[in-house]
Amino acid sequence: MTRVPLERKVLNENDRLAADLRQGFLQHGTRCVNLISSPGSGKTMLLERTLASFERGRRVAVLTGDIQTDNDAQRLARYGFPVRQITTGGACHLDARMVVNALAEWQPDAIDLLLIENVGNLVCPSSYDLGEEARVVVLSVTEGEDKPLKYPATFHRADLVVLSKVDLLPYVPFRMDLAREYIRRVQPDAEILEVSCTTGDGLDAWRKWVDTSC
């Protein structure tokens, strides 16, 4: 009987912290982007290709969430930008408190762009505001085009949907026209990009989106 009130209390506290984060980002001119997807969609590789394209002096930092390992942080740290792993210890999402704690030793005014790689999950992360200015959902063609209808809350809050691994389209039964239609049903205003981190297709458009939105 106490589950609903407790959940409401947790989300209210998260919203309060997220509002504080958002205000701090605004004051310091920090653009925060929250990337959400299911496991294996290609979030980390997209971030790798993104960081590899930046000049070393660019004021960019990354927070990456994982239930157990720091594998993604190790991959991303190779590009010379500040990276911090948030290990949730079983939680299936990041929350605002985790972001506050992870940022405690950084100086927010030294960061122009903060990229947050959320835990691989299309359900729980949709409920937790992290103070981000933009939310990106990554959907790979190996997952099926019906995911926006199955997980509408996640896609409804998306500012951008990245359709990833498009180089695999000849080998999987994924209909791009249906994927776009289903995204539009749930979130008519979301931008949609088709990207392959393997061939490089669409990466220029993705980088342009990052550059013009931060």
| Helix/strand/coil (H/E/C) assignment for every residue in the chain | CCHHHHHHHHHHHHHHHHHHHHHHHHHHCCEEEEEEECCCCCHHHHHHHHHHHCCCCCCEEEEEEECCCCHHHHHHHCCCCCEEEEECCCCCCCCHHHHHHHHCCCCHHHCCEEEEECCCCCCHHHHCCCCCCEEEEEEECCCCCCHHHHCHHHHHCCCEEEEECHHHHHHCCCCHHHHHHHHHHHCCCCEEEECCCCCCCCHHHHHHHHHHCC
194-212: pLDDT as tens digits = 999 999 999 999 999 998 8
So what CATH class is 3-212? alpha beta
pLDDT digits (tens, 9 = 90+) for 67-87: 888 899 999 999 999 999 999
pLDDT tens by residue, 134-143: 999 999 999 9
For residue 213, what pLDDT is reported? 61
Rounded to two decimals, what is the model's pTM?
A: 0.92
The domain spans of the chain are 3-212
